[in-house]
Structure 1
């Protein structure tokens, strides 16, 4: 009997390793630097607006986030932001680009268990150099059959990726911590979308769960993934 699944896609940031915690630390640093000019909640709201506005220009990742912090600092100070603050924000961005990689629990054991059973693919978005750095430093590269770093995770992107690395999205599964990027577009492409929550998730990655879909599942952490895959594979 043919297997239901051939290929498993894994998000990287906050699915394989911690990432958002470094953005949270930069938020704290940003708020402290601009405390004389804006309340924290208002400042964070304006920063999120800048990030949304800049995504079409800078894409996802730390570099775009850093530029959005600088833009917001200019806005809230009416153009009078001190050069020292700009320098500090640039330093914050560099610190984020050099942060250590901390693998999330169960990742290595689960990848080792699944190797050879399915084609395993990292599917991540963001800055190419930063994503390549994190994957290299994680020590996980050899556990995967392929790596895809994309500008946006869309239905079309998933269809193309799972066609190249398997038998199409219909026989693929994507697992990640973002409803908006990892789950909903994969289900729209015809595949399975598995949500594994992380304590910290960027506001722009939030979306309503596709509870009406038979191809949606939620697990508490990656240790539950092998049992779910067996269930799906047996139909």
Structure 2
């Protein structure tokens, strides 16, 4: 293990290790085509109304495919004034099932980057969403053996990270989180005094962009490719050591 004060690197899963949001975006397009048979999509502001319903349901359904599917059904019934047919509601259910069945597609350079970091630091996987679906993706990803621990949580906020760090017996100053979501992966860890490496994905759910972080935050770095991660972690470790 590294002699640096930086001891542990946490990795997000969806859209950090493997593709995810692309499948949700396609499901939303398919949903809009179904509902578009009943209403004018522009006048209905379907995209905005679906997001509003999804957001309001997070506290009830949590994150993930099942919550999105139930929110799509609710939105379809509301937006069509209950005119949507049972057959089309069934098509929306099938969209959810297809999302649960999608393959795990590891992003370019990730296996090499995670292995390189794991050779120098302890690494853990911290992901949120539907437990059954996330467990299935972890089993299929081929990376599970690299992680000291795999944590599937219902929310990724300051309280969750603080609890995990207590369980790891690790001060936040010795922890860096790698992920695509400013809201879930970066902001809470920075607030606790940890470090963050933001790896933007080309598409991100609007909810995950709801975070106020200065672009020049001193404990934050941004990289565009997985190949940059090992060296960026080493650079943060050097800064932490000083």
TM-score, length-scaled by structure 1: 0.96
Q: Give the ranges of 4+ consecutive aligned residues of structure 1 lying more than 4 Å apart after TM superposition.
A: none
Alpha-carbon distance, 1:95 to partner: 0.6
1:183 aligned onto 2:186: yes
Match of 2:230 among 223, 226, 230: 226
* Map of 1:156 onto structure 2: 159
Cα pair 1:8 1:173 within 8 Å, conserved: yes
Deviation of the 1:140 alpha carbon: 1.1
1:57-206 equivalences under 5 Å are: 57-165=60-168, 167-206=170-209
The one of 37, 40, 44 aligned to 1:38: 40
1:166 deviation in Å?
Answer: 5.2
- Equivalent in the alignment of 1:217: 221
Output the CA distance in 2 between the equivalents of 1:211 and 1:197.
Answer: 13
> What is the alpha-carbon root mean square deviation over aligned residues?
1.5
User: In 1, distance between residues paired with 2:221 and 2:28?
Assistant: 32
Q: What SS class does the counterpart of residue 64 from structure 1 fall into? A: helix
Structure 2 stretches lacking a partner, 5+ long:
none
Deviates more, 1:71-80 or 1:153-162: 153-162
Q: Secondary structure at the match of 1:180?
A: helix
Look up the SS of the partner of 1:199 in the other structure: coil
Unmatched 5+ residue regions in structure 1?
Answer: none
- Deviations 1:186-231 (CA, angstroms, capped at 9, x unpaired): 1011100111000010000003433353111111122111111111
Q: Is the Cα contact below 8 Å between 1:119 and 1:165 reproduced in 2? A: no
What TM-score does the superposition give when structure 2 sets the normalisation length?
Answer: 0.93
C-alpha distance in structure 2 between counterparts of 1:38 and 1:184, whole Å: 38
SS at match of 2:114: helix
